[in-house]
Amino acid sequence: MNNLPANSGHSRGRGRGNKRNEELNQRQGPQLGQPAQTSAPRQPPVCTESESSGQREQTRKPADLGLAECAEGDARGSVRGRRLLTDVVHSRPSGLITKAGFTGRKITVQTNYYKVQKRPNWTIYQYRVDFSPDVDNTRLRRGLLSEHRQLLGGYIFDGTVLFCTTKFKEDILELVTQSRAGEKIQIKIKSVGTVEAADNQQFQVLNLILRRALEGLQLQLVSRNFFDPQAKVILDRFRVELWPGYTTSIRQHESDILLCTEIAHKVMRTDSLYHVLSKVIRESDDYQAAFKREVIGVIVLTDYNNKTYRVDDVDFVSSPLSTFNTKDGDVTYLEYYKKRYNITIRDYKQPLLVSRPTEKNIRGGVSQLIMLIPELARATGLTDDMRSNFQLMKAMSEHTRLTPNRRIERLRVFNQRLQQSKLSAEVMKSWHIELDTALVEIPGRVLPPEKIVFGNEKRYLCDARADWTFEFRNNSMYKHVDIKRWYVITPRRNIREAQEFVKLCIRAANGMKMQISEPRYDEMSDDRNGNYSQAIDNAFAKDPQIIMLVMKSPNEEKYSCIKKRTCVDRPVPSQVVTLRTIAPRPEKSGGLMSIATKVVIQMNAKLMGAPWMIELPLKGLMTVGFDVCHSSKNKNKSYGALVASLDMKYSERYYSSVTEHMKGQELSDQMSLNMTCALKAYREHRGTLPERILFFRDGVGDGQLYQVVNTEVKFLKDQLDKIYKSAGRDEGCRMAFIVVAKRINTRYFVNMRNPEPGTVVDDIITLPERYDFFLVSQAVKHGTVSPTSYNVIHDNMGLNADKLQMLSYKMTHMYYNWSGTCRVPAVCQYAHKLAFLIAESIHRSPSSGLENQLYFL
């Protein structure tokens, strides 16, 4: 297997950086910035890191060669061809008459969709295009083919696959053209099929046409979306640029073909990875380990070819002086970039970055490693340190958090540019596509506000703020658990701050009619991990209800140590607070009491109390949430968490479980096993099985929907039916299974403002193959609120669409970590919280002794 330079066309999406590793190898780094001796490349050691994982040193190639040099045929076309063959997943239950609700106040909402005025009425002919001798540059291929545009008519060409409205008489059309160097090049165009107007594939072709039209706006393609570098916002102070852009998609909706357009932003760092390398060499004893921690998992952009790659490894053995094989013989990276791009690499000693091909690349026949030069690669996205930089995030939000009226104006400008750009207009016209100039307006409804139930059956009618934090000043919690035995573990130097905060917690609890006794304090000499573990062991021996632990500042390693101890080894509910949060500061005067109130509410929920309740007409209802998080330490591992309520009308208890599964492993068996345990817990608590189960499944992308619809739900339903029939319920289990999606591009507005919480849209912009609706459940103070998509893929509960919508909205009021509504039903948020805790901090299954408590809040 050969390795390629960074121009193989492997575009990468977003990725998450690896968490920091604590152990460093104490070794001295090289001096950067001086050209190395050009005699001979460094000799590799006997065994390199890549060898230890089964990959031997091989001939190196930069990530910039066309794929034709390294694989038979042109793998680019095969990859793109596969992308066009995606099937539409029909998840709408058979026999469904209507998916529209009727409860609530009717309103008109404006969306970020444009109507395609004319439905294309054409047959598209699909051809395979080959060049002889081969041309490895897509742009050059397009240029050579465009010389015959009079013959081809309107067409779309991605480098290998040609779509056009012209049917050629010959099955194989042969054309001859000439390169700039005077070389004759033969072009073979072979018919491979057609795309009829009624085919689903026509929408993928329409999206290709739209992307070609977007090129006329002088936008730059970065990864999958188009951005406008001319309109970039430069944040010099933070060495960051913001590129505004657009995310677009054309689909068949209920009755019309609609174009969804969302405003996007790409974070581009002005520093190259060479700057990162220079910094870690100055600051770290083991620069290699430190550099790997900084860059592995990062998505980088190479400006010379406008491609993005994920950094998967760093090769410290190779350098720009290393050679790789080409059809013209061996060449160094140094020579290659100078000849191809007229780029002079300054530092000859820098290591090379390694980007592994994706599974999609491998399926397309490309298995080579991509090699990148740190000098020429700059990172995209934000690091954890950048996210924790309040000033940076605030500066960015001024440009990225668009208010509805600003967003609508940007959408209007986008449409105007698309219509008025000469090149864009020509592309649309040549394919007989006409786009409306006005945003689509559709009917919506605002569901009735929910009543929040506090202690002594006092009720609060939730207003448009969807926040009842202040109501705790005048009301007690719905159900509280007095805390009589508890420990506070803190470093000795922070004992005074801890004691003052505990006094505030006791005062806040008294106001909510909850009694908290004075705790026992364990003062540690310092905040080393071993001291926390020993203190937890000592406290656990005294059988406390809960343990509060004080950390000086947020620290992933210490937090992980504490949670492993309290969730696995010594199962006891724990409350971690940081000194920065609980210590009095001038700017927080008056805010500490609010923090203490929230901490008390959280501790009460962890001890099976219920801070508040909602009015729920159904009895015997179990709500279930399921979510998946990927491990930060091992990308091949994921953790699926299930959280189920044990009849919310009469009980405030929850059941939770987590299962680990490897990459590519089906979730069906674990999900049904967890549900079996949840039903057992329900029956032990209530004495019977639930009448109905409302299952919310989060963490599903469009690519996974087929598996969920055709495997997970079927397997789960069969298992549950067996349990119900063995209990004498011949009708089986009555269940609704709903896929919840937050990362969507749909937005809607009311009078150029954010819609109220409870605003439902269930027509026109929904999809005909789904039983779906959109729901806004939150109120936001800044920017534009994002609706949540609900896709009902199985339902035999006996409830109509209206009741399912209202139940879903009710469930967004029950997340006890926030006294307000959340974007998804509470059980979904609980499942996410639990899966995230295990994947990020614990990396193993928690103790079964905690499965009936919300210990993960």
Distances (CA, A) of 603 to 547, 590, 776: 10, 21, 29
Torsional sign, CA 37, 41, 46, 49: positive
Query: What does the alpha-carbon distance between residue 173 and residue 170 come to, in Å, rounded to a whole number?
Result: 6
Q: How many residues does the chain have?
A: 857
Counting Cα atoms < 13 Å in the Cβ hemisphere of 425 gives 7
Placement of tokens 């041309």 in the chain:
135
Placement of tokens 């003062």 in the chain:
523
- Residues 6 or more apart whose CB falls under 8 angstroms from that of 765 comprise 111, 113, 253, 254, 258, 260, 440, 442, 746, 748, 774
Name the residue among 611, 614, 584 with its Cα closest to residue 600.
611
Query: What does the alpha-carbon distance between residue 592 and residue 576 come to, in Å, rounded to a whole number?
Result: 16
SS3 146: helix
557's tokens: 């390693």
576's tokens: 């971690």
Known catalytic membership, residue 763: no
DSSP summary character for residue 715:
H
Placement of tokens 């996205």 in the chain:
381
SS3 457: helix
Query: What does the alpha-carbon distance between residue 291 and residue 601 come to, in Å, rounded to a whole number?
Result: 42
SS3 387: helix
Q: Are 299 and 13 in contact (CB under 8 A)?
A: yes
Torsional sign, CA 168, 172, 173, 177: positive
**DSSP letters spanning 187-235:** EEEEEEEEE-TTSTHHHHHHHHHHHHHHHTTT-EEETTEEE-GGG-EEE
DSSP summary character for residue 183:
-
DSSP summary character for residue 79:
H
Distances (CA, A) of 349 to 274, 296, 401: 11, 20, 42
Counting Cα atoms < 13 Å in the Cβ hemisphere of 172 gives 6
Q: Which of 74, 522, 527, 698 is catalytic?
A: 698
The order of strands in the sheet holding 184-195 is 155-157, 161-164, 124-132, 184-195, 172-178
Q: Which of 136, 313, 347, 627 is catalytic?
A: 627
Known catalytic membership, residue 698: yes
Q: Are 702 and 642 in contact (CB under 8 A)?
A: no
Q: Are 313 and 55 in contact (CB under 8 A)?
A: no
Q: Are 266 and 224 in contact (CB under 8 A)?
A: no
Query: What does the alpha-carbon distance between residue 759 and residue 761 come to, in Å, rounded to a whole number?
Result: 7
Q: Are 575 and 549 in contact (CB under 8 A)?
A: yes
Cα-only R_g, the chain: 30
Query: What does the alpha-carbon distance between residue 532 and residue 831 come to, in Å, rounded to a whole number?
Result: 27
Number of neighbours of residue 503 by Cβ within 10 angstroms: 12
- Residues 6 or more apart whose CB falls under 8 angstroms from that of 659 comprise 639, 640, 670, 673, 674, 845
Burial class (CB in 10 A: 0-12, 13-18, 19+), 60: buried
* Single-letter residue type at 242: L
Q: At 331, phi and psi to the nearest 5?
A: -145, 150
Q: At 766, phi and psi to the nearest 5?
A: -80, 170
Torsional sign, CA 749, 751, 755, 758: negative
SS3 529: helix
Catalytic positions, please? 627, 698
